[in-house]
Amino acid sequence: MSLIRLIPEPGAHIANELLRLNAVKFGAFELKAHRANPSLPKSPYYFDCRTDGHPKKPGPVSDLLVRDIALSMSRLVSDADVDAIDCLAAVPHGATPYADRLARALDDRVPVIRLAKRENADGTTTVHDVEGDVSALRGKGALLVEDVVTTAASSLEAITVLRRYGIRVRDVLAVVDRQQGGAQRLIEQNVRLRALFAFRQLVDHYHAAGQIDRMKYEECLAYHAANS
């Protein structure tokens, strides 16, 4: 087993706050996949990075933590080989506050494209269009912001919409990558995934910090290996 390490600051503060606010939880949880297959084993961990200002399902992440996350995202953008950013877009609705804060951290003049979701008959949602006139952004490069990436299905829907309007997307920036195939699916569309935290990085950190015990840690790793 590889050596586990604590996440260095300022990431450690954010990781600890995510746990304290129950944006990261450990227990036994049903996920979206259980709708189609209730017999699936429950997940021993759950990521919920929705903010307390979410328009439909308020989440646990405070505005103060959104600010800290956006600042860390801006540093990641500066340090990484990210394609030219002419505008930002966010997968609605969970990632919108992060994109708004990131735009302010980068440059107040960076526009944020609003994407629209539609409700499907089966209770799911699909990113299907943009809100407003984006004709001035045709040919420009957008950085797509996500909260949590699992299979990247929502990110790919958003990328398809943006490309339909002639807007380039080469990078997705997420708060958490669950490391369950999303990065590979994005690579197949010539898009790179950057994330503040990966699943393994977070559970390693919480175990090394004594915030989850060895039994829960190994349960998380086993579940992840079987479902990735």
Question: Does residue 2 fall inside a structural domain?
Answer: no
Per-residue model confidence (pLDDT) at position 1: 44
Nearest 10 degrees: Cα torsion 225, 145, 13, 64: -140
| pTM exceeds 0.95 for this model | no
Question: Does residue 94 fall inside a structural domain?
Answer: yes
The parent domain of residue 50 ranges over 11-226
Residue 209 has pLDDT above 70, yes or no: yes
* Per-residue model confidence as pLDDT tens digits over 24-52: 999 999 887 777 788 888 999 999 999 99
Per-residue model confidence (pLDDT) at position 109: 75
Per-residue model confidence (pLDDT) at position 40: 84
- The SS3 of residue 175 is strand
Helix (H) or strand (E) holding 128: strand 125-131
* Per-residue model confidence as pLDDT tens digits over 180-191: 999 999 999 999
Domain count for the chain, please give it. 1
Question: Does residue 1 fall inside a structural domain?
Answer: no
Residue 82 has pLDDT above 80, yes or no: no
* Per-residue model confidence as pLDDT tens digits over 8-21: 999 999 999 999 99
Question: Does residue 5 fall inside a structural domain?
Answer: no
Per-residue model confidence (pLDDT) at position 4: 59
Separation of first and last alpha carbons in the chain: 18
Question: Does residue 102 fall inside a structural domain?
Answer: yes
Residue 92 has pLDDT above 70, yes or no: yes
Neighbours of 151 (CB within 10 A): 15
Question: Does residue 164 fall inside a structural domain?
Answer: yes
CA distance 28 to 190: 35
The residue behind tokens 């002639």 is 166
CA distance 154 to 157: 5
CATH number of 127's domain: 3.40.50.2020
Task: Enter the tokens of residue 94.
Answer: 């969970």
Question: Does residue 4 fall inside a structural domain?
Answer: no
Question: Does residue 161 fall inside a structural domain?
Answer: yes
Q: Is 123 left (phi over 0), alpha (psi -120 to 50) or beta?
A: left
* Per-residue model confidence as pLDDT tens digits over 164-183: 999 999 999 999 999 999 99
